[in-house]
Amino acid sequence: MSGADQSKIKRRQFLAGAAAAPAVAAVALNGSPARAQAASVPAVPNAAGEVNPPGEATPLPEGYTCGSDHMVDVLKALDIEYIASNPASTFRSLQESIINYGGNSKPEFLTALHEDSAVHYGIGYARITGKPMAALVHGVVGLQHATMAIYNAFADQTPVYVIAGNSISEWTRRPGAESAHASIDQAQMVRDFVKWDEQPPSLRDFSNAAARCYQAAVTGSPGPTLLVADADHQEEAVHPEHMEQLHVPRMGRITKVGADSGVVQEIADMLCNAENPVIVVDRFGTSMESVPLLVELAEALQAPVIDTRGRMNFPNKHPLNHTEIAGPTLRAADLVLALEARDLFGMVNNLADTVERNAVSRLRPQTRVVRLGTTTLSQRSNYGASQRYAAADIEISASAEATLPYLTEAVKRGAKASFRTRGERLRMATSGLAEATRVEAARAWEASPISTARLAAELWDQIKNDEYTIATECQFQSYWPNRLWTMNHYYNYLGTSGGFGVGYNAPSAVGAALANRALGRLTIGIVGDGDYMMQPGVIWTAAHHQIPILMIIHNNRGYHQETMHIQRMAARHNRGIDRAHIGTAINEPNIDYAAVAKGMGVFAEGPVSNPVDLGPALRRALDVVRRGEPALVDVVTQPR
Amino acid sequence: MHRKTLPGFVSALLASLFFAGAAQAADAAAEDGAAVYSRSGCWGCHAYLGQGGRDGPQIAHTALSYEAFSTFVRNSTGDMPPFTARIVPDADLEKIYAYLQSIPEPPAPETLPLLQDVFSD
How many CB pairs below 8 A link A and B?
145
CA A375 from centroid of its chain's CA atoms: 16
Sign for the CA dihedral angle at A569, A571, A574, A575 comes to positive
The predicted-structure confidence for A339-374, as pLDDT tens digits, reads as follows 999 999 999 999 888 878 889 999 999 999 999 999
Q: Say yes or no to pLDDT of A39 above 90.
A: no
The predicted-structure confidence for A101-151, as pLDDT tens digits, reads as follows 999 999 999 999 999 999 999 999 999 999 999 999 999 999 999 999 999
SS (H, E, C) A401-468: HHHHHHHHHHHHHCCCCHHHHHHHHHHHHHCCHHHHHHHHHHCCCCCCCECHHHHHHHHHHHHCCCCE
Q: Which of A443, A587, A588 sits opposite B58 (nearest CB)?
A: A443
| Residues of A whose CB is below 8 A from B9 | 557, 585, 587-588
Q: b vs e for A67-94, b when ≥16 Cβ sit within 10 Å of the residue's Cβ?
A: bbbbbbbbbbbbebbbbbbbebbbbbbb
Question: Any long-range contacts for B87-94 (C-beta under 8 Å, 24+ apart)?
Answer: B87/A570, B87/A571, B87/A574, B87/A575, B87/A576, B87/A577, B87/B40, B88/A577, B88/B36, B88/B40, B92/B36, B92/B40, B93/B69, B94/B29, B94/B66
Q: Which of B49, B83, B106 sits opposite A571 (nearest CB)?
A: B83
- Best A323, A577, A586, A609 residue to mutate vs chain B (most B CBs within 10 Å): A577
pLDDT of residue B30: 82
Predicted confidence band at A252 (pLDDT cuts at 50, 70, 90)?
confident
Cβ distance B106 to A451 less than 8 Å, yes or no, reads no
The predicted-structure confidence for A546-568, as pLDDT tens digits, reads as follows 999 999 999 999 999 899 999 99
Q: By the CB < 8 Å criterion, does B3 face chain A?
A: no
Structural domains in chain B? 6-117 (1.10.760.10)
pLDDT of residue A5: 44
Residue of B nearest to A433 (CA): B119
Q: In angstroms, what is the C-alpha Rg of chain A?
A: 27
| Residues of B whose CB is below 8 A from A578 | 7, 39-41
Predicted confidence band at A93 (pLDDT cuts at 50, 70, 90)?
very high
Q: State the Cα–Cα distance between residues A543 and A56, nearest whole angstrom.
A: 34
Q: By the CB < 8 Å criterion, does B106 face chain A?
A: yes
> In whole angstroms, how far apart are CA A326 and each of A64, A123, A351, B80?
65, 29, 15, 20
How far is B103 from chain A, CA to nearest CA, in Å?
A: 10
Residue of B nearest to A581 (CA): B6
- Which residue would you say has higher pLDDT here, A60 or A269? A269
Cβ distance B81 to A571 less than 8 Å, yes or no, reads yes
Residue of A nearest to B104 (CA): A444
pLDDT of residue A45: 37
Burial class (CB in 10 A: 0-12, 13-18, 19+), B76: middle
Structural domains in chain A? 65-245 (3.40.50.970), 261-431 (3.40.50.1220), 434-636 (3.40.50.970)
pLDDT of residue A249: 86
Cβ distance A452 to B6 less than 8 Å, yes or no, reads no
Q: Say yes or no to pLDDT of A267 above 90.
A: yes
| Residues of A whose CB is below 8 A from B81 | 353-354, 568, 571-572
Q: State the Cα–Cα distance between residues A220 and A377, nearest whole angstrom.
A: 7
Q: By the CB < 8 Å criterion, does B82 face chain A?
A: yes
| Residues of A whose CB is below 8 A from B106 | 442-445
> In whole angstroms, how far apart are CA A402 and each of A285, A339, A340?
12, 12, 12
Cβ distance B7 to A479 less than 8 Å, yes or no, reads no
Which residues 4-33 on chain B approach chain A with CB closer than 8 angstroms? 4-7, 9, 13, 17, 21
Q: Say yes or no to pLDDT of A418 above 90.
A: yes
Cβ distance A575 to B87 less than 8 Å, yes or no, reads yes
Q: By the CB < 8 Å criterion, does B57 face chain A?
A: no
Q: Say yes or no to pLDDT of A23 above 70.
A: no
pLDDT of residue A460: 97
The predicted-structure confidence for A391-408, as pLDDT tens digits, reads as follows 899 999 999 999 999 999
Q: By the CB < 8 Å criterion, does B56 face chain A?
A: no
The predicted-structure confidence for A527-550, as pLDDT tens digits, reads as follows 999 999 999 999 999 999 999 999
Regions of chain B where pLDDT drops below 70: 1-26, 119-121
The predicted-structure confidence for A602-614, as pLDDT tens digits, reads as follows 999 999 999 999 9
| Residues of A whose CB is below 8 A from B6 | 558, 563, 580-581, 584-585, 587
Q: Say yes or no to pLDDT of A72 above 70.
A: yes
Q: Is the confidence metric ipTM above 0.90 for this complex?
A: no
The predicted-structure confidence for A163-178, as pLDDT tens digits, reads as follows 999 999 999 988 888 8
Percent of the residues in chain A that have a pLDDT greater than 70, as a whole number = 91
- Which residue would you say has higher pLDDT here, A204 or A8? A204
pLDDT of residue A449: 97
Stated pTM of the model: 0.90
Q: Which of A445, A558, A571 sits opposite B112 (nearest CB)?
A: A445
Residue of B nearest to A459 (CA): B114
Residue of B nearest to A582 (CA): B5
Summary mean pLDDT of chain A: 90
pLDDT of residue A29: 35
Residues 6+ apart with CB under 8 A from A423: A299, A302, A320
Cβ distance B58 to A440 less than 8 Å, yes or no, reads yes
